[in-house]
Amino acid sequence: MVRTAAGAAEGAVRRWVEAAGGHLVLDGGLATELEANGADLNDPLWSAKCLLSSSHLIRKASHPPTPQKPHSWLDMDIRGKVHMDYLEAGANILITASYQATIQGFESKGFSQEQSENLLTKSVEIALEAREMFLKEHLEKSIPIQHPILVAASIGSYGAYLADGSEYSGDYGEAGTKEFLKDFHRRRLQVLAEAGPDLIAFETIPNKLEAQAYVELLEECNINIPAWLSFNSKDGVHIVSGDSLIEGATIADKCAKVGAVGINCTPPRFIHGLILSIRKVTDKPILIYPNSGERYDGEKKEWVESTGVSDGDFVSYVNEWCKDGAALIGGCCRTTPNTIRAIQRTLNQGFNQQHLPVA
């Protein structure tokens, strides 16, 4: 592709990548790591349930919020345990526990709109405070931190809110109109952006219609922090809806407020071809954070054992992904701090010398 002048969002991401030594490392699975630590997330809110129960994401909370006592969380001793685990493993980017957190979802639990917005804000504050604590601890130990540590506010799809499997099909039925999706996401985007994250992460996008809704909202809401768009592929060629990944990436490429585009929650074996497809239509930094490759049984609502790859096999792909052009690399469902530690170790063994040009 012929390189055009980068927008402010793309330029910011490139500078962060350069400051990190050539690659940024994202964190790994949040919800599945919470479950591994004993959290019960069997709820349509999924990881966002921890904003109510404060189970393991919020370390101490003797009085979790209820519709009758919505502000009790203000007195919590907030410790983002899983966030801290990922920072200690070498992650440069924390993704907030807001993937399935929506105003509509909280309202269905009896919270008012104001209370729901406060809970969205809290998802960002938890990650910001984990970062502050991490930096403080290292300062006290005279351990320098020479790479950026960023917070990305997660926005999941409309299908993630429905919690009916449509986030993995992209089939929203009669609700599948662009204006409906924009109305659904608008206030959520505004609240999360105002909470002070470094980036907005539109994750596991299942169809090109929702991608188009996102980029239009970024413009209409005048969001002034970089965003990324990350799609979910079912076969290494298409988004889960059957739409072409290239079409989705093209939508992201045309938006100056999008700083990176990529793939998440997709088996590692598909990533090589997907990076090459994305690179055909954009020069924006590419991010990839696959899942472990394990198969999820939707009827039993459990992961099928022995269907994924080990951490060793997962990171064996990292060198290839770097050569393909991935600049931001992490993990999604069923990856752990050990996975992220292995990714960082692999990058430190040589690929951090391959710097991405700063726009």
Residue corresponding to tokens 């459990």: 302
Q: For residues 73 and 57, what is the distance between their CA atoms, to the nearest angstrom?
A: 13
DSSP 212-254: HHHHHHHHHTT--S-EEEEE-BSSSSBBTTS-BHHHHHHHHHT
- Asked if 70 and 111 touch (Cβ cutoff 8 Å), the reply is yes
DSSP 318-339: HHHHHHHTEEEE---TT--HHH
Residue corresponding to tokens 């994250």: 197
Q: For residues 154 and 31, what is the distance between their CA atoms, to the nearest angstrom?
A: 12
To which H or E segment does residue 151 belong? strand 150-155
265 in a known ligand binding site: yes
- Asked if 347 and 25 touch (Cβ cutoff 8 Å), the reply is yes
255 in a known ligand binding site: no
Distance from CA of residue 223 to its chain's centroid?
17
- Asked if 192 and 98 touch (Cβ cutoff 8 Å), the reply is yes
Helical ranges in 163-224 per DSSP H? 178-194, 208-220
Length of the chain: 359
Q: For residues 21 and 336, what is the distance between their CA atoms, to the nearest angstrom?
A: 23
Handedness of CA 314, 27, 285, 144 (dihedral sign): negative
50 in a known ligand binding site: no
Annotated binding site for Zn(2+): 265, 332-333
Annotated binding site: 265, 332-333
